[in-house]
A and B are shown apart, each in its own frame.
Chain A
Amino acid sequence: MIALRDVTKTFGARVAVDHVSLALEPGTTRILLGSSGSGKSTILRLVLGLLAPDTGEVLVDDVVVSRGTRRDALRRMGYVVQEGALYPHMTAAENATLAARAEGWARARMAARLAGLAELVGLERSLLDHYPAELSGGQRQRTGLIRALMLDPPVLLLDEPLGALDPISRAELQTELLRVFHELRKSVLLVTHDVREAFVFGTTITLLNEGRVVQEGTFADLARRPADPYVAQFLRAQAPPAAMTAAL
């Protein structure tokens, strides 16, 4: 589905992505886990063709992503980012249907699709006429998700989709995202720094540090057989204190 082959990307003297190879199989979810600056967001931008790799190649459905193929590759992917990146001058509905408008969809088709997706992600229909500034963080994120799903791409790329939410909306949306991924059988590449989130979403986790893949595997693999002292250190840093787990 999506593959990186020995990709390196530098910004000036800083190596953001350092000889990374990874693959995303159809219908699976892969988590890119790491602290800020580990290169995980850059990997998403490379996959989207927003950045070009210095060396190595990015493939979408076995086609190398380049200037010429980027447009086709993009049609196969939906992109959700922290805080939604919604356009402030457009209503939620206008934001969500933008890609469909660019494709020249008929009004009725867009309306029907929008209604179905709003139901799917749990966004009240009346909120679709609101501007982003009038929505809560969770509502904005749901709008962003509708927008990513509008053209029904097989792949979803999510960059810290829950990062800016309060704990309760976060837990709610987390559940809904899992349901959506499962129901729609999407291939998902999700970026997070949160170990708990990685545990909840991911079958396969890729732990990154300073642009390099440190370890790849299930949560159990990482926890029981850390490939590097960094792995244990990273997981332990976010583990809840034993007394707290016991008290809950």
Chain B
Amino acid sequence: MASWHHRLGAMLAVAAATLAGTADGGATPVRVGSKSFTESYLIAEIVARIAEQVGEAPVERRFGLGGTGMVYGAVASGEIDLYPEYTGTISRAILHDSSVTTVPALRARIRPRGLIISDPLGFANTYALAVRRDTAARLGLRRISDLDRHPGLTAAFDPGFVDRDDGWPGLQHHYGLRLAAVRGMEHALTYPALISGRVDVIDVFSTDGQLARTDLVVMLSDDQRFFPDYAAVLLARESLAARLPRTWAALQQRLGGRIDNATMARLNAEVELDRRTFAQAAAAFLGERGAADAGPARRRLGRDLATLTVEHLVLVAASLAVAIAVGLPLGLLAARHRFLGQLELMGIGVLQTVPALALLAFMIPLFGIGRVPALVALCLYALLPIVRNTYAGVSSLDRQLLDMAAVMGLNGRQRLAWIELPLAAVTIMAGIKTAAVLTVGTATLAAFIGGGGYGTLIVTGLALNDVPTILAGAIPAALMALAIHVAFEALDRLVVPRPLRGSPGRAR
């Protein structure tokens, strides 16, 4: 009974918060962001916990914001205050100048953007080559340059590593290496391939959780310093340090140089291999008492699901409502003005070809992160089927029927409401149904910019390579699409005149 009340209350609170936006009252919170992979979530969770312990301001977690473009956009536009980043990424992907490598140099370059960089946290998530321990012992391999004495070895690399200049092609050239065979393989599969002896060399990230768990694999040192340094730091807004000096000082003090590669690999392993939550792993690292049992139960799906369902429905309903309100008039406009209409349809068509993630990324400078940009992007995606079907439905009406309306002296509004919209209703509704079902699917991507919904589980699941979590988001989304389909079929009976039902395009 109590738990039921509690759950209902929580749901209502979420619904209210969802509708009201992010109003929190009180002090401006510390907004902590992360990318959508395990290590980034973990460091962000640790940062959030330290900030909570300092208690200078409430903490807002905006985790899983996709890749560098998204999360950097968020910090640059002031949507978040800080997130974990890597020095190599800052120089290459953000400053676009790979010659800047040291932390002081990076600080000097990024300062004009109103951003600061913390002291390095201690670990570096760089590319490395790894071999089996027994292979290393047998062939005397300790450094990458040792490989040139053994051209008969085979390798399996992540497809990205095979192609990138700072991956295998550059490495091969830099060290003058030759291997017997190199093939691309999904990163998660390279460890089993190495351990089972199917290949001799693989590429790894220096903080991979698997490295902490197996004694069978050793990394080769980058003796000729080819791989760029990807030392972990916190990238923050300058205003954060000024606004919350105690929080920033605590982060610097408690994290600066405190997490080495082995520790980070162990934390990654706890989440990815032991299935602990980010919160549990982070609490354990910080030495919080009773972290394992008092912390939240493992990914509390039951509670999450109610919350996420509300969030997802709000995303779908709000974006669809706006898309209909905008799309219907646009479709009618296209049907009235042939030239303008073609331009308009082309424009909306081009919009549809923009990949959803790219569109979301474009939204950040305009609308920040969270629900608003997600809603705008979803609206834009829902527009095409609605506009196109409205246009098709209205512009294909029998000319004689329209002439008759003119002869009978109907004004523009009467013609639209009595003749055109009812006759085109089947086609227009088909467009709206298509848009609704598409939106349920596309809305899962909203999680990449902190928009919430079922995508939150999918993004987390992808980051952890955890299929059950992915399915926990994907299956409800599919069920919602089905439910919406059924609901709209029922709506058809209200909207479409009886004689026109089940016969789209019949005009006589």
Chain A residues at the B interface, C-beta cutoff of 8 Å:
45, 48, 50, 71, 74-75, 77, 79, 81, 83, 85, 87-90, 98-99, 101-103, 131-133, 147
Contact = CB atoms under 8 A, between A and B. Distances in A.
B158 to A, nearest CB: 60
A50 B508 contact: no
Nearest to B508: A88
Contacts of B406: 48, 50, 74
Contact of B418 (A50, A88, A98, A103): A98
Interface residues of B, number: 23
B420 to A, nearest CB: 11
Interface string B194-231: 00000000000000000000000000000000000000
Contact of B409 (A45, A50, A71, A85): A71
A88 B499 CA distance: 7
B400 interface: yes
Contacts of A85: 398, 400-401, 403-404
19 contacts: A50-B406, A50-B407, A71-B409, A74-B409, A79-B404, A85-B401, A87-B404, A87-B423, A88-B500, A88-B506, A89-B422, A89-B500, A98-B408, A99-B409, A102-B409, A102-B411, A102-B414, A103-B409, A131-B499
Given A85-B400, A89-B422, A48 B407 contact: yes
Interface in B374-410: 398, 400-401, 403-404, 406-410
A81 B400 contact: yes
A75 B508 contact: no
Interface in B405-438: 406-411, 414, 418-419, 422-423
A185 B500 CA distance: 38
B401 A87 contact: yes
Most interface-central of A74, A81, A98, A132 (chain B CB within 10 A): A98
B479 interface: no
Cβ-closest 3 pairs across A and B: A89-B497, A99-B408, A131-B499
Interface of B: 398, 400-401, 403-404, 406-411, 414, 418-419, 422-423, 497-500, 506-508
B407 A77 contact: yes
Contacts of B418: 98, 101
Contacts of A147: 408
Nearest to A85: B400
Given A83-B508, A98-B410, A103-B409, A133 B499 contact: yes
A79 B422 contact: no
Nearest to A159: B400
Contacts of B508: 83, 88
Contacts of B499: 88-89, 131-133
A75 B406 CA distance: 11
Nearest to A71: B409
A88 B507 CA distance: 7
A87 B411 CA distance: 17
Nearest to B404: A85
A90 B498 CA distance: 9
B199 to A, nearest CB: 68
A99 B410 CA distance: 7
Contact of B419 (A75, A79, A87): A87
A103 to B, nearest CB: 7
A98 B418 CA distance: 9
A48 B406 CA distance: 9
A103 B506 CA distance: 28
Contacts of A90: 497
Nearest to B419: A87
